[in-house]
Amino acid sequence: MSTMQDLKSEIRNCGRCPLADSRNRAVPGEGDLSARLFLVGQAPGVDEDEEGRVFVGRSGKILGELLDGPGLSREEIYLTNLIKCFLPGYRRPKRGEIDACSKYLDREIEIVAPEFLIPLGYYPARYILHKYGINVPEDKSEIFNRLWYSRGQKIFPLGHPAILVYDKEARDEMVENYDKLRVLSSNCKWYEVCPMRRFNERGVLDDRWIETYCKGDWESCQRYQMEENGDPHPDYILPDGSLSERLRGHS
């Protein structure tokens, strides 16, 4: 496996596709190499192309504001793009460009091995869902703001911050959607003492429940909500609120 330093240098000198002729600088990702959250934008903008750093222009400023909501800083996440070079006129990436450039993203993912991949916008989301064997819904609205889990990887696609450059009305909804990163940035506070952990360790509860609730979107767990409200509940109620006869037998 290459080191991140080797990979960055390879990206900066890349000539794999014709975008190398029109860019000023290819832009590798940056951030915490052991980050839990790994955010993937589409491609660098003009400012990023000038400076050679990810999310330093208008979109970067907006992303910083959106990360303030869940209390996250750039230093504690990893930030990169699907395409490492500026797309002239902010056009869509072409198939050949994605094929050539996504190899770098694959290697960044391999090095950081994050708990969550957070693609921002349609093209990164489509690439990442496909990479993990998920059929991408034709209705784009079904892709975003939900937790996907496949081949051991958790994926939570969000809208790209650049949307707010053109559509200020979308801000409240976007702020609300990005707030989910607060939940995803830690495990459920009840996990250590939760019967679901015990059942999973005894091999009678599938990992999917743990990954998607206890170590994923715990705020939507019915058990979590009942704990918070002080509502009594049996050990064999599952995170989605259904009762498990199998767990009942092991209680």
Binding site for ligand SF4 (CB under 6 A): 188, 190-191, 194, 196, 213-214, 218, 221, 223-224, 227, 239
- CA atoms of 67 and 182, how far apart (whole Å): 9
251: tokens are: 């209680």
Rounded-to-integer distance, Cα 4 and Cα 12, Å: 12
Q: Answer for the pair 180, 156: CB distance below 8 angstroms, yes or no.
A: yes
Name which of 24 and 187 has its Cβ closer to ligand SF4: 187
Q: Which CB, 55 or 224, lies closer to ligand SF4? A: 224
Q: Are 69 and 178 in contact (CB under 8 A)?
A: yes
Please state the closest distance from residue 218 (CB atom) to ligand SF4, in A: 4
Q: Assign 225 to helix, strand or coil.
A: helix
Shortest gap between Cβ of 156 and ligand SF4 (angstroms)? 16
Nearer to ligand SF4, 8 or 215 (CB): 215
Query: What is the dihedral angle through the alpha carbons of 142, 144, 146, 148, rounded to the nearest 10 degrees?
Result: 90
Q: Is 118 exposed, middle or buried (0-12, 13-18, 19+ CB in 10 A)?
A: buried
**Beta carbon of residue 213, minimum distance to ligand SF4 (angstroms, whole number):** 4
**Which is nearer to ligand SF4, 29 or 216 (by Cβ)?**
216
Pair of tokens at residue 150: 């496949």
Q: What is the closest distance, in whole angstroms, from the C-beta atom of residue 186 to ligand SF4 in the complex?
A: 11
- In the complex, the smallest distance separating the C-beta of residue 243 from ligand SF4, rounded to whole angstroms, is 14
Which residue lies nearer to ligand SF4 by CB, 79 or 194? Answer: 194
Using DSSP, state whether 66 is helix, strand or coil.
helix
| Structure token pair of residue 47 | 């400012």
Query: Is the distance from CB of 195 to CB of 157 less than 8 angstroms?
Result: no
CB of 239 to ligand SF4, least distance (A): 4
State in angstroms the smallest separation of the CB of 224 from ligand SF4. 4
The half-sphere exposure of 246 on its side-chain side, counting CA atoms within 13 A, is 10
> What is the token pair recorded at 25?
């600088």
23: tokens are 């860019």
By beta-carbon proximity to ligand SF4, the closer residue of 148 and 213 is: 213
Q: How far is CA 42 from the centre of its chain?
A: 13
Q: Smaller CB distance to ligand SF4: residue 122 or 190?
A: 190
